[in-house]
Amino acid sequence: MMFILGCVSLPLGPTAWLLVHEDEIQPPKVAVYFSRFWWLLQQRAVCQLAAYDFFSGVFNNFNPVASSNIKLYWVHATPFNASVMAIIGTFVYAGTLGVMAQHGLHWNWRVAITVTVVFGIVTDALMTMLVTWDVVRSQWFWLGVPIMGYIPHAVQFLVDNYVVVELIELGSEGALYGLLTTTAHVAAPFGRTAAKVINARFHVWKADIQADTFVTRRDVTITICICYGMKLVSLVFLPLLPSQKAATQELRRLGGVSTRMGLCMVGILLVALAWSTAVNVLSMNPHTKCWSITGGCAPKTLHSSRSQLSIPAAG
């Protein structure tokens, strides 16, 4: 299969070489480029959008760590079926982008994000609670309902790009897009690490999920509610995001520049990048993978012992 896909992709190289035409431009001098980039970093509009991407990203990536074990031991979802639903989710994502691009250009971006995030939380909560308390434990139910979660991600992605388009200046397109993309990416490890640290205090380890006791179900419910709460907290940072194109242009025109804000943003991004690197390296080392900042390891005395209150078997 990989060989066939490789053969299909082979003509793309010559096609791009022969058919794609780009005008030759004079590359900027390094000093001039970095001077322009530093001026860009000091703009309030850029700092404000970067702050929104970072802080909302931290809380949006606060996900329950028990999900993978629930999928494996409670609903018995197979990798093939998960892949099929992921493909369908990609189509939902693309469809949302199309609808948003055609009809959402003049929507209030803050309202669009709020509505889709709340919709995603409600649908996911319905599915998760029914599975947790053994009302419905179908793999198709577990894999199918979260497809709706692709909708808020698509709306968030498109709104971010709308704002970037309004802020872009000639010669700084790649730098600005790269800056905001990096900001969103380095925010994710903070949310995931915080989720692991908090989840580690509950009975949601692999052995707990396998035992499927009342205590486990209760703690899974608590951790999931915490995660939903964090996703709602991410909406608190929406005032940092312009509500429409006109507001973006006004912020760009009247926002001004601030060296202090630029330095603060660079410092936060460097710390976030160092944190992300450190967590990834520590999690791969056998001697440090059980540290609290990497999520810890299951205790030697399992939470889900036989002495806990268990769920009686049906029938």
Under 8 Å between Cβ of 182 and 272 = no
pTM: predicted TM-score of the whole model, two decimal places: 0.80
**Contact residues for 275 (Cβ-Cβ < 8 A; gap 6+):** 186, 189, 190, 193
Copy the structure tokens of residue 7: 């053969």
Chain centre distance of CA 230: 13
Predicted confidence at residue 314, as pLDDT, reads 42
Own/partner contacts of 307-315, CB < 8 Å, gap of 24 or more, are 308/203, 308/211, 308/213, 308/214, 308/215, 309/213, 309/214, 309/215, 310/211, 310/212, 310/213, 310/214, 311/134, 311/212, 311/213, 311/214, 311/217
Copy the structure tokens of residue 156: 């968030």
Predicted confidence at residue 215, as pLDDT, reads 92
Copy the structure tokens of residue 35: 């001077």
Helix orientation angle between 79-103 and 150-167, rounded to the nearest 10 degrees? 40
**Class for domain 28-294, per CATH?**
mainly alpha
Q: Where are the domains of the chain?
A: 28-294
Under 8 Å between Cβ of 298 and 205 = yes
* DSSP SS3 for 43: strand
Q: What is the pLDDT along the chain (315 residues), one digit of tens a residue?
A: 778 878 888 888 888 888 887 777 777 777 877 888 888 888 888 888 889 989 998 898 888 888 888 888 898 888 888 888 889 999 999 998 888 888 877 888 899 899 999 998 998 888 899 999 988 888 888 888 888 888 888 888 888 888 888 877 766 777 788 888 888 888 888 888 888 888 888 888 888 888 889 999 999 999 999 999 999 999 999 998 888 888 888 888 887 888 888 898 889 888 888 888 888 888 888 887 777 677 666 666 554 444 444 454 443
